[in-house]
A and B are shown apart, each in its own frame.
Chain A
């Protein structure tokens, strides 16, 4: 008999008046990748925190490998080899990789920590599952992608055979996502069961064996991963048909609005972030900038806004050199800006929707004695909430409690309602935004273009760039390494070329010579055959396993199991002590 690795029955969870989960049933079969999809706020994360024991349900039961868990706690999940990688990493920054991995189950020798054996075990795991990371490195010195590998290592070292990943790709570059999926496939082949929480459809199509869709706290659909189409999932998530491809007519290009000449910027660590960029965006067109994060796009955008000093070069908005202008003067010159990090730059989370809607525009809403004109602010908020479909439609609601999509709608609404904007800068406008809102934001950007705004779109999402851009530049190491016009973009395989250029895998010259066909596919949704991707040595070396807890079907490899008791030759009661 093959009981599910993880099962939830009739789970209810309420936070105040909000039902985060309502009568949810979920079964995850062993050795599969089970995707849990839904928009932000659909209750996926809550459900998985309940499954992991981090949060306790109001009612309903959790079953791990057929065993009903009463009084569920994290320790009990760990004891039953269930691990979770949280969206916000649970790593202690000043500690090393090894220390983070062993935390909670520390091996000891003569009363002191014994990290040397754990280090050897971690090195072994990193080699076997392509989780390259240096065990003695401090967490705070690692990149986000490396930190995620540490999170996975933490769970593998504990011997987990069920791994829950909450939005694991949100912070990764396309290359890192590929590496992660490769690792996950290797792990599943090795006996692991994976639950993947995500709202990115291409990822679901690329890796999921089974898909459960949640909406407003309930499971609305469960589907088989094979032969699934993005439209089906999107429909189930949003509850109505969604246009994944935006309709747009040909661009009616006007005069130049943003002109950048030979721009050079020194970045945060003294390196040349932007290294001689020329760029032209004209009224009525969307120019996309593709690039893996950290290739100078951020500095480029911030230089135009005035948030980052430039070394040399010229930036003109509507023919006017903006060097020396304050940020506010640049906005008055016709700039509108959707920043990359809305929490850091665009919103004050503790402010209400209506107050966020006038941030930076507050001068236009003051009257006698510099008092704010509350009625005008409220009127404007009502109008924009309706026009941009911001939910909840309550102008006094605080931004902090809203979904990413609705927060972003506040930003878009504010920026597009400036007086006579000419240039719209959008940096990663749909990051962390659910599909329904993505559709709306994309539509607004096209509208802005059709009204004659010049739009510069910086994004790492190839599908977004493709569906919106009239022209596209690829940025790599501070330079624009290739430009694509509308005809180039329409060509078959153009996205693969862009992807290869972004990672520096090929150069523009090679692309034009037609050699880009060799470039590795970046289209995650591309090809089911990718799934057979094998890792070296997926079965693990033969072991003299004295492990009584091996799972009956034998698919869970002893290599994983024997890490459950890293100190088993020490005192027996030690593990009990940890897990009680």
Chain B
């Protein structure tokens, strides 16, 4: 027991927490971008999965070939491909909910189902496996010397500045709260919403690539509900990027503790300790959801006519 607590105060544990937090935080930042513009983003789950798949494929393939005498960096390739894959599936989502004004919950769930099926299908097609990709190059170093980690930190700061301190952020917040008001001032509501949704695709897509790089490969359905947890973090953080990240850190911490609990058996069944992060989600949501106020036009398609 004492050993267990001691293990929580180590650099290794902090690193573990951060490693788990990164994909949550990226997906949550994506969620903020999309939901602030008024578009619910249940599809985060599917975007994460898609980003993981395209990231894994890019890392694997770029490791196989030499491009005109230049050896591509598989990690950079994975990050870029993850973002692109995320943008692609987010674009499909945007088309359905912004342009065709479908119900955002239903369409989001459909995207998640599509992403699960499509990645499995492509996995079979490319690598003739139903469950996982071949091993890909992954992170070699600790998290603090991992440039991708610092890129994520930078993205989080940028998201904060973008939402609160820039013209784009002001418009993003305006179209999510009162699209008609923005429209009467000459702002094209659906264009801003498209930007928000595509940004969420890029961010969550990178989060997916991180997942694949952490375990050196793509595993079927590897997002494992992280998109939903990220969405909970968005709500807990009242749609503010900084607080959403803080909420993700809390979930990351909970999960890291849970993993530690498994290694130091303390007499509680593993099945119970594994529930810990999810129970924490429910409790905090129950406490926060009443107090945090969503963008007022969240979930309502805007008809510019």
Contacts and interface: CB of A to CB of B under 8 A. Distances in A.
Contact of A92 (B169, B181, B305): B181
B166 A112 contact: yes
Contact of A579 (B166, B174, B177, B186): B186
B182 interface: yes
Nearest to A574: B167
Nearest to B175: A92
Contacts of B174: 92, 95, 103
A94 B177 contact: yes
Contacts of B166: 108, 111-113
Contacts of B177: 92-95
Given A91-B181, A92-B173, A78 B165 contact: no
Given A93-B178, A112-B165, A106 B185 contact: no
Interface in A40-74: 52, 54-55, 73-74
B180 interface: yes
B183 interface: yes
A554 B166 CA distance: 36
Interface in B130-146: none
Interface residues of B, number: 22
B296 interface: yes
A322 interface: no
Contacts of A112: 161, 165-166
A84 B184 contact: yes
Given A99-B170, A103-B170, A78 B181 contact: no
A578 interface: yes
Contacts of B296: 93-94
Interface in B250-305: 293, 296, 305
Contacts of A95: 170, 173-174, 177
Contacts of B156: none
A103 B177 CA distance: 13
A75 B188 CA distance: 10
A113 B184 contact: no
Q: Which residue of B161, B165, B174, B305 has the most chain A CB atoms within 10 A of its CB atom?
A: B174
B161 A104 contact: no
Interface in A91-142: 91-95, 99-100, 102-106, 108, 111-113
B187 A104 contact: yes
B171 interface: yes
A418 interface: no
Interface string B40-55: 0000000000000000
B159 to A, nearest CB: 14
A409 B261 CA distance: 69
Nearest to B164: A113
A113 B171 CA distance: 11
Nearest to B173: A95
A325 interface: no
Contacts of A78: 185-186
B254 to A, nearest CB: 30
Contacts of A106: 167, 170-171
Contacts of A74: 183-186
Nearest to A108: B167
A102 B293 CA distance: 24
A250 B281 CA distance: 70
Contacts of A55: 305
Chain B interface helix/strand/loop/mixed: helix
A460 to B, nearest CB: 27
Contact of B182 (A54, A92, A94): A92
Contacts of B165: 112-113
A86 interface: yes
Contacts of B181: 89-92, 100, 103
B192 to A, nearest CB: 11
Contacts of A75: 186
B183 A92 contact: no
B294 to A, nearest CB: 11
A57 to B, nearest CB: 13
B180 A90 contact: yes
A86 B167 contact: no
Interface string B152-169: 000000000100011101
B185 A103 contact: yes
A100 B177 CA distance: 12
Contacts of B161: 112
B185 A104 contact: yes
Nearest to B186: A75
Contact of B186 (A92, A94, A104): A104
Contacts of A108: 166-167
Contacts of A104: 171, 182, 185-187
Nearest to B185: A104
A273 B284 CA distance: 38
Nearest to B167: A106
A54 B185 CA distance: 10
A91 B183 CA distance: 11
B180 A103 contact: no
Contacts of B185: 74, 78, 90, 103-105, 154
A103 B183 CA distance: 10
Contacts of A93: 177-178, 296
Q: Which residue of A93, A103, A113, A579 has the most chain B CB atoms within 10 A of its CB atom?
A: A103
A113 B186 contact: no
Q: Which residue of B167, B169, B174, B293 has the most chain A CB atoms within 10 A of its CB atom?
A: B167
Q: Which residue of A54, A92, A99 has the most chain B CB atoms within 10 A of its CB atom?
A: A92
30 contacts: A54-B183, A73-B186, A74-B183, A74-B184, A75-B186, A78-B186, A89-B181, A90-B184, A92-B178, A92-B181, A92-B182, A93-B177, A93-B178, A94-B293, A95-B170, A95-B173, A95-B177, A100-B181, A102-B170, A103-B170, A103-B171, A103-B182, A104-B182, A105-B185, A106-B167, A106-B170, A106-B171, A108-B166, A113-B165, A113-B166
Closest 6 CB pairs of A and B: A104-B185, A75-B186, A90-B181, A106-B167, A92-B178, A90-B184
Interface of A: 52, 54-55, 73-75, 78, 84, 86, 89-95, 99-100, 102-106, 108, 111-113, 154, 578-579
Interface of B: 161, 165-167, 169-171, 173-174, 177-178, 180-187, 293, 296, 305
Given A90-B185, A103-B174, 6 more contacts: A84-B184, A86-B184, A90-B180, A92-B181, A104-B182, A113-B169
